[in-house]
Each structure stands twice: as C-alpha cells, then as structure tokens.
Structure 1
Amino acid sequence: MRLRNKPWAQKLVKEHPEAILNEPDPEVKINWNERFEDFSKPLAIEIGSGKGQFITTLAKQHPEMNFIGVELQTTAAGMILRTKLNEGIDNLQLMCADAANIAQYLPKNSVDVLYLNFSDPWPKTRHEKRRLTYQSFLDKYQTVLKDEGHIEFKTDNRGLFEYSLISLNNYGMKFDHVSVDLHNDDDEIAQRNVETEYEHKFAAKGNPIYCLHAHFA
C-alpha cells in the first residue's frame, strides 16, 4: 500500500545514517559489525516492514536477538525509524532498499529467520516475478539464511498464499507449519503471534489470516 509522502520522514531518514541505510549501493559491502553492538546474536529480518508495528514489537520482546527491517517506501521507513529512536530500540537496524538486492546486503548464511508479512500479492500473471515468494527471491533467501534458518510468511490474500505454497513446495522447501486461519488456531504459534498493522485491520474485517513456516531442505 502506497503511503502519502511525508517530508518529515525523508528528513529523518537523512539525519540518521547510523540507524538506517537509505538506498545502499548493493556493490558496497555493509559492515554490520559496526551497526550492531554484537552482530553474533541471532538475526531476524523482515522484508516489507510497512509502518513497523511487527518488527519494533518483536525487537523489544527479544533483546537477545538482532533485527533488520527492510522497507522500500521512504515514508514508511521514516515511521519505523521514528519509533526506533523514540523507544530506544538498539537491536534494530533499518534499510530503505529493494529486497531484490538482499543477498548482496547481508553475509551468506547469517540470518536465522526471515519474515514476509502481508506482501504485495501482485495478482496479475505478468507480475509473477515481483511476488516475494517467486523462485528468484527464494534463491536470495536461501543464500542469506543459515542452514537451520527458516521463513515465516503471513497474508490475508488467499491467492498469494496458495501461490506461495506451490512455489515453496516446487523449490523443495519443507513446511513446518501451515494455517488457513491463524487467529482462530489454538497452538503455540498462534499464541506468540505478533500482529502487523495491516493484519490487525484485515482481521477486524473478518478476513482469515493465512500463515506458513518453511525451511530449505
């Protein structure tokens, strides 16, 4: 969802290069050891962080981990950055960047969990390659994830969910959890679920939330 441009967000992003990488050059290696107090901690990354409700909440809940939020829209990235700065979330770094370059931004085999929350479904067939569960993106995720790492995916879009199940299965991934109504499940995954701002809105309308967890075999 495209947000209305907010000049304050662009200004904030430019003023805090220590907290957010703004359109980094994929050809220039990022020194993550300088951006985190201890980069050896388990690392989680969210691609498409929106306004940041999910990633900021998770980072506050888990100080024993490091988090990276990747968001393409500057206005949304600025909103996350404002929350990070106001609440002193030191174990969170941000990137205003294209997820297509994720394998160039992060070290190989460095990520423990990769979150895909309410990604753009790109419903038209000609836009299939833009879906974040398309094969070319899975190639990149496999590069940055540790051998024991995994993907956690949520959406309210049944078409994208079904497409993602097929795409990940055809890629040879193994499913650890699949739900077609996460909010009405009664299990450990549902109980520890952290909502995104879009998830809260969609669920309030009665939309089922689809969820899957999967790892590379």
Structure 2
Amino acid sequence: MDSPTDANARQRRGLLIVLSSPSGAGKSTISRRLLQDSADLSMSISATTRQMRPGEAEGRDYHFVDDATFERMVEEEDFAEWAYVFDHRYGSPKEPIKEALKAGRDILFDIDWQGTQQLKSAFGSDLVSIFILPPSMEELERRLRARQTDSEDIIQSRMRRAAGEIGHWDAYDYVLINDDLESCIRDVKAIVAAERLRPRRHPYLSDFTRKLVERPND
C-alpha cells in the first residue's frame, strides 16, 4: 500500500478555471500567458457548429460538428455547458473534463456567464471563475478598434454585448480590472495558485492526517 507521503499518492484533484470578459478586455492575452507559463494547464476544446477557419485544426482548436451532431449531443446530455454565440453553437463535452479532474489536470475555459453557471451546476467546487473588466467602456472600444479586424457594425455589436456581460460580474468568484496587463496576469496566477492549494483539491489529506495522529497499540 502506498504511503501517504509518497508523491504518487499525493496527487491533487484537477481544477476548472473559467476566464470571462467582454471582447477586448484582455482575456485572450491573459489566457495565452497562463497556458504558456503553466505546464499543468490546457485549454478546453469545445465542439462548435461554425465552419473551420484558415489555420485551425480539428481537435486542436475545436471539434467541428454539423448541426445534427450537435443537437444529438445536446439530447444525450454530452455537454457540461453549451450556448449560442453569434449564430453558432458551442459546447464543452463532459467526459474529457471528468477525466482531467480525476488525473489532476487543470482546464481553462473561455465561456460567458451563462456557460459558467451551467459548468458550475455540473462541477460545483471543482470550478473557479474569474471575470476581467476593462478600465472603462471608452478604453474597451479603443482596444476593439485598434485590432482593425472588425467592421463598424461588429464593433457596435460587441459593445452592446459587453454591457450585458458586465452586468453579470457578481456571478463570478473573482473580479479583476485590467488597467495594467502585467499586474492583472500576476493576480490571475495568484488566484490559480491559491485555488490549487485548497484542501478539497487534495483528497489524500484525509488519510494523511489520520495516519499522522494514529498511535501504535500499547
């Protein structure tokens, strides 16, 4: 039998990390840095009904499925969460999430507040949610325009959507204002580090502490 001090016996449970923000608030940049700096973290791979874009690959960026397949997965309750986003459907399959949690691997999710609530309902305390706010709506619009990738109609649509998303800030465990990118990244890393240390993510502690206080029979 493995000793509770054995490294293999002290594997923690995985962590689900949701990082949400309005488009342009810095979520994608922060996510890239987290993934780059943490070998124990991977991005959730969602299923989607939208078409594959140039440079994307099946199974790396998304699982690309048709509407009929997605609908079947919904009916069979294969998703932990799913939603419509800009006329397409996106969903997070349950089984890879369960396997990652059991194996002690952490998964990062890029989903909105509705998806976050669904995921929390499915996985409870395995989830930690972080919402990133822009320093102002004016700065958010400036960042969107600086990308030079969206039409005026899309920019205005993103700004309207941002107002609605920000209204749900209090549904998250942590809320950060991204007025300094490096500082915000440090704060997100600190949150993740602290959440990884919570006792409930270390199931071996029950046996470990019991053995610590056990006394041999007189």
Give TM class, smaller chain: 0.3 to 0.5
Q: In proportion to residue count, which structure has more helix? A: 2
Larger Rg: 2
Q: In proportion to residue count, which structure has more strand? A: 1
* TM-score, reference length from structure 1: 0.35
* TM-score, reference length from structure 2: 0.35
